[in-house]
Amino acid sequence: MSIETLRAVAQPWQCDAMGHMNVRFYTGYFDDASSQFIGTLGGGVEQLGTADLGWADVHHVVEFKEEVKSGGLLTVTTRVIKIGRTSLTFQHQLMGLSGNIHATMEVVTVMFDLKARRATTFPDDIRRAAEELLSQEIA
């Protein structure tokens, strides 16, 4: 199941000489959506607290499908694709007001032990939340 993770407006200052949103701002929107998504799963900075856990993105694949014009109203939705032992794969879709897809980003992120500086398994509550979203996607 996809959940909404961001709403935004393509600002004129984010656009290039042709009036289209510059590529670097797609990444910014997707990064903000990632933070919202991870927080929804219970893995946000405030939620992890003093657990010395964090996230490390290890792979991004972006597909640009339709240019975003200045003033475009945008929504990002996110869905779980795969859950590993230490990694989570999810996909963002950046859409316009009419539901047209401007771009997608597939992300692989790893639960990271900040003290040991290595990947570690997910806390149970985060795994359960991700599995719940994945099960709704498959159903």
* pLDDT tens-digit map of 24-75: 999 999 999 999 999 999 999 888 878 899 999 999 999 999 999 999 999 9
- Backbone phi, psi, residue 118, to 5°: -155, 165
49, two tokens: 């607290």
SS3 86: coil
Please give the CATH topology (third level) of the domain spanning 3-138. Answer: Thiol Ester Dehydrase; Chain A (3.10.129)
pLDDT at 21 over 90: yes
Q: Which two tokens stand for residue 98?
A: 């009419």
**Which range is least confidently modeled, 16-20, 67-71, 97-101, 133-137?**
133-137
| pTM of the predicted model as reported, rounded to 2 decimal places | 0.93
Give residue-wise pLDDT tens across range 69-95.
Answer: 999 999 999 999 999 999 999 999 999
* Domain residue extents for the chain: 3-138
**In this predicted structure, what is the pLDDT of residue 93?**
98
Q: Given this model, what pLDDT does residue 50 score?
A: 82
Angle between helices 124-138 and 23-41 (to 10 degrees): 110
* pLDDT over threshold 70, residue 128: yes
- Is the distance from CB of 66 to CB of 126 less than 8 angstroms? no
Q: What pLDDT, on a 0 to 100 scale, did the predictor assign at position 139?
A: 58
Q: Of how many residues is the chain composed? A: 139
Q: Provide the 3-class DSSP secondary structure of residue 121.
A: coil
Residue with tokens 């003033």: 71
Position with higher pLDDT, 120 vs 136: 120
